[in-house]
Amino acid sequence: MGHDPKVLHASGTGALTRRVYIADDHEGYRSGVARLVAEHPALEVVGQAADGEQALAGIVECQPDVALLDVRMPGMNGIEVCRRLQAEGTAPNVRIVLITGTPDPVLSTQAAEAGAVALLGKETPPNTIAAQLLAAAEGRVGWSVE
Amino acid sequence: MSDAPGDVAGALLEALLPGSGIGVAVHDEHLRVLVISPSLAELSGTRPGEQVGRRLTEVLPGEVGEVAEASLRAVAASRRPLLRLEPAVEAGRERGWLIHVYPLEYGGRELVAVIALDVTESRRAHEHLQQTRERLDTAQRMAHVGSWTWDVTGDRWHWSEELFRIAGLSPAARPPDFRSLLGAIPPEHRGAFRDVTSRALRDGRPYEIRFPVLLPDGGRRILRGRGVPVRGDGGAIERVHGFAQDVTELARAESHQRAATALGRLALSGVTLEVLMGEAADAVASELGFDFVAVVAPVEDGAAFEVRALSSGGTPFAGRSGVQIDANSLTAEVLRTGETLIVPDWDREHRLPRASMADTLGIRSSAAVIIGTREAPLAVLSGHSAAPGRVGAEDAAFMATVANVIASASRRLKSEAEVAAGAEARGRLVALALDAEDRARRGISEALHDGPLQDLLALGHDIERLRPAGEGDEAHLTRVRDGLASAVRQIRDVMLDLHPVQLQVGGLQSALQAICAQQAAAAGYACAVEIEPAAAGRRDELVMSLARELLRNAGKHSRGGEVHVRVALEDGALRLDVIDDGVGIPPDRLGEALGEGHIGLASSRERAEAIGGSFRVGPRDDELPGTQAVAILP
């Protein structure tokens, strides 16, 4: 688990790709998302993590364009990772998209307050997730809940 | 003496027939009978003719004649009159004669005359009166009641003998006047006595008053007096009749009873045993006029004793609790026997060894009673006086009453402590059981979240990657997607019921909102959640559990349109309100529901009380229609 700092910043076609970091403690879900990101022509996975602490360190190191963080993870949860990044300013250009298996309005509010640009439910279709990540990476998303 | 006067006298005397009640006789210088009336002859049991010319020793039998003639001789010799009461028996009835023997000068002769008055009836009346007086006096003495009459106009008093005794005066003394009477009353009580008396003299109504009097020997008694004014012919009040009763003992008993009752009330008020013992020591000292009262308890299995309480003031031990005292003491003896002990005078005491403190404190008399029983002694209550003979059985009886109050309080406090310990243990068990249940629910919920839910969600993504290969595949895929979505929803509902995972991430607000939304959707009401920020994070798990139960109840029973959940801090404790605008709950319904086996609310109450909190369900505090459940959680 972790990230590969040597991954390219551009796709093989020469078009600019957006660098995505994925953190989720559920291996099956995380790998599924990683696959769909990898298959997306404008996105690439630059790192993965299975808990909050690992994600915080990886994001700081990889400086991705966008990070998809599961809300509920062992140790530090996704919202807390988001707060820490905002507070510490160690990844000023990364945009955070949170994802949860149990969405609710209060969580949405807390996600927004923590500095995330979107909160997605895990049942969100893969294409929509990919689109949200791309939009977030390109700064086209204000705040959205899916 | 010539015959003519004698004849006249004789004729006169004849008129004094037996039964007239008057007898007359005249004796000559030789004490012979000159003349005698039939009535007097009757007294001596002879006829008049038989006595004339003869001396009494000749006509009266034996000693009677000797005594009678001795009287005549004494008067003849001394020429001084003699008055004597002569009993006689007539037809079996005792009679009384008042006999007056006196010298009679007649015609130059020195005669002796006798006049006898039959005083049988007056004597009987006198005796009856005397007996009545004696009986009255006895009754008054027994009842400690004295009677009096006050001649108001002359300020003259008549007192019965018992009243003299009550006042500590000799019956031979003159009764005091009103001013002297006032002087015997302590100054602080004189005004009341004067007022009551003045009012009675004004309105003429009977009156009653209780007042203390100071005795000449320095003692003090409590009297209860009653007076009845009597008006004269002119309508003015001339006299007052009344009685005065010595109620010193009664007043003392009443005071003892009041003191014992006050101690009993104090015992029930929840004071500690130490406080109660201190108050008891003071009460005994005050009521009985003791110089020193102690409560001493055995320690170290009776090997030593410890002072638990002392009466206040004036003793060398005052304020020094916990002083070790001699085992060789009155206290040790009472503990050993369980009996009440009285030592009237330590200087004459031979049964018990003289206690060292008796010398230290100058104690001369003591009494001690056990608090508790010989088998299970709690302490010994002892009272002491510097005066010999001052402590008696009545004092010991009051001390025993006080000891019973302390013993009862001790038993009650012990029972309460046991009940409290039981309740605390039960509360701990309930809390443990509820914690275990919460842990189990949380574990299952998290397992569902981390396992099946995530698997299904990941599976959903995989399904999205599938492409229909043939006709009908799209419909199949749709059914699979729908089935997956349904399964996800069901798992989420179960998780919310068990334990909202939102609590870990989103906190109380998030979790309560989620449950509220779930229950509101199921029951069809609108739900609002209001949480004071400082109230979150204190007892989130318990608040969630109670709120879930109450929201479910609101959905089942309230038939209301809105439910309001509020969590706030109140006096340092957490307060959860769940308020609906439904039909309300009848006053007895909660009890009935519990009786019918609906344990949800009972469980909620148990959970609150297990941590020292409270729980109630009833009408809304704002008196609007609906129900309000309130849980206070410290």
> A79 and B505 in contact by Cβ < 8 A?
yes
| Contacting residues of A for B505, CB less than 8 Å apart | 71-72, 77-79, 100, 107, 110
pLDDT category at B1 given cuts 50, 70, 90 is: very low
What is the three-class DSSP state of B2? coil
To the nearest whole percent, how much of chain B has pLDDT over 90? 21
Residue A72 has its nearest CB partner, among B461, B504, B513, at: B504
pLDDT in tens, B252-289: 888 999 999 999 899 888 888 889 999 999 999 989 98
Most A CBs within 10 Å, among B457, B498, B501, B519, to test the A interface: B457
Decide which of B268 and B136 is more confident: B268
- Residue A70 confidence (pLDDT) above 80: yes
Token pair in block for residue A103: 């969405």
Query: What is the reported pLDDT for B575?
Result: 95
Closest of B119, B212, B108 to residue B166, by C-alpha: B212
Task: State how far residue A76 is from chain B, nearest Cα, in angstroms.
Answer: 10
d(CA B474, CA B468): 5
- Residue A5 confidence (pLDDT) above 50: no
What DSSP character marks residue B355?
P
Give yes or no for B386 touching A (CB within 8 A). Answer: no
SS3 content of chain B, % helix, strand, coil (to 5): 50, 25, 25
pLDDT in tens, B380-390: 999 988 888 88
pLDDT in tens, B67-92: 888 989 999 999 888 887 666 555 55
d(CA B189, CA B210): 10
Provide the residue type at A61 as one letter. E
Decide which of A16 and B256 is more confident: B256
Most B CBs within 10 Å, among A71, A123, A127, A133, to test the B interface: A123
Residue B516: CB partners within 8 Å, gap ≥ 6?
B527, B528, B529, B547, B551, B563, B565
Using CA coordinates, name the residue in chain A closest to B496. Answer: A102
* Burial profile B464-486: b = 16 or more Cβ within 10 angstroms, e = fewer: beeeeeeeeeeeeeeeebeebee
Decide which of B532 and B433 is more confident: B532
d(CA A27, CA A48): 10
Ramachandran area for residue B301 (φ above 0: left; ψ -120 to 50: alpha; else beta): left
Provide the residue type at B324 as one letter. Q
Give yes or no for B51 touching A (CB within 8 A). Answer: no
Query: What is the reported pLDDT for A27?
Result: 92
pLDDT in tens, B452-474: 999 999 988 888 888 888 888 88
Residue A29 has its nearest CB partner, among B454, B485, B513, at: B454
Give yes or no for B454 touching A (CB within 8 A). Answer: yes
B334, B419 Cβ separation under 8 angstroms: no
Residue B485 has its nearest CB partner, among A26, A36, A123, at: A123
Evaluate whether ipTM surpasses 0.90.
no
| Contacting residues of A for B455, CB less than 8 Å apart | 26, 28
What is the three-class DSSP state of A94? coil
Query: What is the reported pLDDT for B313?
Result: 59
Residue A101 has its nearest CB partner, among B449, B461, B464, at: B449
pLDDT category at B11 given cuts 50, 70, 90 is: low
Residue B458 has its nearest CB partner, among A29, A104, A105, at: A29
Query: What is the reported pLDDT for B318?
Result: 47
pLDDT in tens, B197-210: 999 999 999 999 99
- Residue A130 confidence (pLDDT) above 80: yes
Provide the residue type at A55 as one letter. A
* Measured CA distances, B32 to A79, B29, B35, B96, B554 (Å): 153, 7, 9, 24, 132
In B, residues 521-540, which contact A (CB 8 Å cutoff)?
Answer: none
B112, B27 Cβ separation under 8 angstroms: yes
- Residue A11 confidence (pLDDT) above 50: no
Task: State how far residue B459 is from chain A, nearest Cα, in angstroms.
Answer: 8
Give yes or no for B350 touching A (CB within 8 A). Answer: no
pLDDT category at B65 given cuts 50, 70, 90 is: confident
Task: State how far residue B527 is from chain A, nearest Cα, in angstroms.
Answer: 14
**Over residues B21-35, mean pLDDT:** 88
Residue A107 has its nearest CB partner, among B457, B465, B506, at: B506
Provide the residue type at B77 as one letter. A
Query: What is the reported pLDDT for A4?
Result: 43
Task: State how far residue A102 is from chain B, nearest Cα, in angstroms.
Answer: 7
Burial of B138 (0-12, 13-18, 19+ CB in 10 A): exposed
Give the predicted TM-score (pTM) of the model.
0.50
Decide which of B224 and A145 is more confident: B224
> B505 and A77 in contact by Cβ < 8 A?
yes
Query: What is the reported pLDDT for B508?
Result: 86
CA angle B479, B485, B487 (to 5 degrees): 100
Interface of A with B (CB under 8 A): 25-26, 28-29, 32-33, 36, 71-72, 77-79, 100-102, 104-107, 110, 122-123, 125-127
> A126 and B488 in contact by Cβ < 8 A?
no
Using CA coordinates, name the residue in chain A closest to B511. Answer: A106
- Residue B324 confidence (pLDDT) above 70: no
The partner residues of B325 in beta bridges, in order of sequence, read B305
